[in-house]
Chain A
């Protein structure tokens, strides 16, 4: 079983749509969780950290369910500029970040 699993997509949605991505992780010792965004042929960049209580940043909402070892990202009112690959990332203390393979989002007008 992969340490971090994501649906690769692609998710094709119209502008203004709401879209949700899910991610599962296998190691219950994982301590910190993140969503990264990667544009084509660019380096990944942090979108948001994910906290146990859930957190929101504008149109983006991240949720963590430790019992089910599940992380989600919700994007409301999708924009063309949201088109990218979204990477689910987990980390344990003293080790490297583990990246999922990413979910591709394409927003069309």
Chain B
């Protein structure tokens, strides 16, 4: 049981290049999320998928697209990278959105550290 995995762990891009960040979870969770974390800004939600087949914008969706490929996989695409997208990107999954329970933990992947030059 690997939990939430992300690839790559590190990436350097030039302005204008495109790339896809991959995320997969093996916990049979319904909901998956993409966040970015910048110094002093905390975790900001980019996009989320409450269930397979649905995606919704979060707080900072501009410049990104997502695909919920199946229940396990949720990818984040940067079509034309900009220096403002330099950040640490975290993928997360959650069993049941909105329910407070001892077992309802949101699990995070280890993050992708992206630098755009």
A69 within 8 A of B: no
Stretch of A20-28, A44-52, A74-82 on the interface side: A44-52
- 17 new A-B contacts, CB < 8 A, other than A42-B110, A97-B45, A98-B45, are A31-B99, A43-B90, A43-B109, A44-B43, A44-B90, A49-B100, A49-B101, A89-B106, A91-B98, A92-B98, A94-B50, A95-B97, A96-B33, A96-B48, A96-B97, A99-B35, A102-B42
Q: In the complex, A43 Cα to B108 Cα: how many Å?
A: 6
Interface range on chain A: under 10, 10 to 19, 20 to 34, or 35 or more? 20 to 34
Chain A residues with CB under 8 Å of B108's CB are 43-45
* A residues in contact (CB < 8 Å) with B: 31-34, 42-46, 49-51, 87, 89, 91-102
Chain B residues with CB under 8 Å of A98's CB are 45
* B residues in contact (CB < 8 Å) with A: 31, 33, 35, 40-43, 45, 48, 50, 56, 58, 90, 94, 97-102, 104-106, 108-111
Name the contact of A93 in the complex, choosing from B42, B98, B102, B109 (C-beta under 8 A).
B98
Select the residue from A44, A51, A93 with max chain B CB neighbours within 10 A. A44
Q: List 6 A-B contacts (CB under 8 A).
A: A32-B99, A95-B97, A96-B31, A97-B33, A99-B42, A99-B43
Chain B residue nearest to A101 in the complex (CB)? B42
Q: In the complex, A87 Cα to B94 Cα: how many Å?
A: 17
Q: Once the chains bind, are B98 and A43 in contact (CB under 8 Å)?
A: no
Q: Once the chains bind, are A43 and B97 in contact (CB under 8 Å)?
A: no
Q: Once the chains bind, are B42 and A49 in contact (CB under 8 Å)?
A: no
Name the contact of A32 in the complex, choosing from B41, B98, B110 (C-beta under 8 A).
B98
Q: Once the chains bind, are A101 and B48 in contact (CB under 8 Å)?
A: no
Q: Once the chains bind, are B43 and A46 in contact (CB under 8 Å)?
A: no
Select the residue from B33, B56, B90, B106 with max chain A CB neighbours within 10 A. B106
